Chains A and B, each alone.
Chain A
Amino acid sequence: MRPRLLRTYSVLLLFIGLKAAGNLSLAWGMTHLARNALANPLFYLGAMLDPFVALGIVLLIVALLARMVLLSVADLSFVLPVTAVGYVLAALLGKAVLHEVVTRQRWLGILLIFAGAALVSFTRQKTTDGETSK
Chain B
Amino acid sequence: MKWPLVGVMVTATVLSDLLQSFEMKRAGEQSVGARGLIRLLKMIAQRRFLILAIVCMAFSFFSFMALVQTEPLSFAVPASAASYILETVLAKLVLRERIGVQRAAGALIVLAGVALLGD
Interface size on B, residues (CB 8 A): 46
Q: Does B55 contact A (CB under 8 A)?
A: no
A113 in contact with B110 given A65-B41, A69-B32, A106-B116 (CB within 8 Å): yes
Q: Which residues from chain A sit less than 8 Å from chain B, CB to CB?
A: 11, 14, 62, 64-69, 71-73, 75-81, 84, 87, 91, 103, 105-106, 108-120, 122-124, 127-128, 130-133
Decide: B24 and A81 in contact? CB cutoff 8 A: no
Decide: B18 and A116 in contact? CB cutoff 8 A: no
Cα-based distance from A114 to B109 in the complex (angstroms):
9
Decide: B109 and A116 in contact? CB cutoff 8 A: yes
Residue of B nearest to A111 (CB): B113
Interface of B is mostly: helix
Which of B18, B26, B41, B50 gathers most chain A CB within 10 Å?
Answer: B26
Residue of A nearest to B41 (CB): A65
A14 to chain B, nearest CB (A): 6
List 18 interface pairs A-B (beta carbons < 8 Å), by A numbering.
Answer: A68-B20, A71-B21, A72-B29, A77-B91, A77-B103, A77-B107, A81-B106, A84-B113, A91-B117, A109-B116, A113-B117, A119-B105, A120-B102, A120-B103, A123-B102, A128-B95, A128-B98, A130-B24
Cα-based distance from A68 to B106 in the complex (angstroms):
22
Q: Out of B20, B31, B108, B113, name the residue touching A71 (CB < 8 Å).
A: B20
B95 to chain A, nearest CB (A): 6
Decide: A75 and B91 in contact? CB cutoff 8 A: yes
B78 to chain A, nearest CB (A): 9
Residues facing A in B75-119 (CB within 8 A) are: 84, 87-88, 91-92, 95-100, 102-103, 105-117, 119
Q: Out of A111, A128, A131, A132, name the residue touching B97 (CB < 8 Å).
A: A128
Q: Out of A62, A109, A120, name the residue touching B114 (CB < 8 Å).
A: A109
